[in-house]
């Protein structure tokens, strides 16, 4: 992906966060000041030296219109927990989480967020295939006849439809909690 395409994706994702914050009418837990807008970076590989741990990935707390929104959840749940503590951010008090896309460095800390806030709403993009996507016809699977017989996936005979569960079906189940996939 080019830098320009990445900037467009993040700008569009940020606008989605702002739209969701303005559109939701549920009471916040505790609210940010209604006139205050603030973004607190919780996870990044850059910045001045501090008690924050740097790592590949991204997470930021967006406070806007009285809402507390976690945008992405980072790469490592332990580092996210540490950095949130350093910044004095309580992730159990979020209105919702927005996942920009399905790369591990943007959703790897989700296990920590769900541990401290198991009922939080999660908004995720609808993608064509994979974690947030749909089923895939086996015609997309390339069978390599040069592999030894024990190495091809599905013994070289994939099912007609390769099915994905979880978010592909509209829900993420974790520790008995259900989280709706909003696309």
Quote the pLDDT of residue 115: 96
Coil vs helix vs strand at 134: strand
In order along its 183 residues, the chain shows pLDDT tens digits of: 444 444 445 555 555 555 555 444 444 445 555 567 999 999 988 777 789 899 888 999 999 999 999 999 999 999 999 999 999 999 999 999 998 887 878 889 999 999 999 999 999 887 766 655 666 777 776 778 888 877 777 677 777 877 665 443 444 433 334 444 444
* Cα–Cα separations (whole angstroms), residue 63 to 80, 96, 183: 18, 11, 22
Rounded to a whole number of angstroms, the CA Rg of the chain reads 19
By DSSP bridging, strand 67-71 and strand 96-98 are: parallel
Structure pTM? Answer: 0.59
Quote the pLDDT of residue 80: 96
* Residue in 131, 135, 97 with CA at minimum distance from that of residue 114: 97
Asked whether 82 and 109 are in contact (CB, 8 A), the reply is: no
Asked whether 27 and 33 are in contact (CB, 8 A), the reply is: no
The CA distance from 90 to 138, in Å, is: 44
* Cα–Cα separations (whole angstroms), residue 121 to 14, 28, 58, 93, 153: 17, 12, 19, 12, 35
Quote the pLDDT of residue 133: 62
Q: Residue 106: CB partners within 8 Å, gap ≥ 6?
A: 57, 58, 59, 72, 73, 74, 75, 99, 100
Quote the pLDDT of residue 83: 95
Quote the pLDDT of residue 160: 81
Asked whether 83 and 52 are in contact (CB, 8 A), the reply is: yes
Helix (H) or strand (E) holding 178: strand 177-180
The CA distance from 150 to 152, in Å, is: 6
């Amino acid at each position: 992906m080019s830098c320009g395409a990445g900037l467009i994706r993040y700008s569009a994702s940020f606008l989605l966060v702002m739209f969701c914050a303005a559109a939701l009418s549920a009471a916040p837990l505790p609210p940010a000041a209604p006139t205050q807008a603030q973004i607190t970076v919780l996870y990044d590989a850059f910045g001045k030296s501090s008690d924050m741990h740097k790592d590949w990935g991204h997470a930021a707390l967006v406070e806007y219109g009285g809402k507390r929104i976690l945008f992405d959840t980072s790469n490592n749940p332990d580092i996210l927990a540490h950095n949130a503590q350093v910044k004095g951010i309580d992730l159990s008090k979020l209105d919702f989480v927005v996942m920009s896309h399905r790369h591990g460095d943007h959703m790897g800390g989700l296990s920590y967020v769900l541990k401290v806030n198991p009922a939080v709403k999660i908004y995720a993009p609808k993608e064509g295939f994979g974690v947030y996507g749909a089923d895939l016809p086996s015609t997309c699977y390339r069978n390599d006849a040069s592999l030894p017989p024990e190495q091809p996936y599905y013994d070289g005979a994939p099912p007609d439809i390769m099915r994905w569960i979880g978010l592909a079906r509209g829900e993420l189940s974790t520790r008995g909690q259900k989280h709706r996939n909003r696309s």
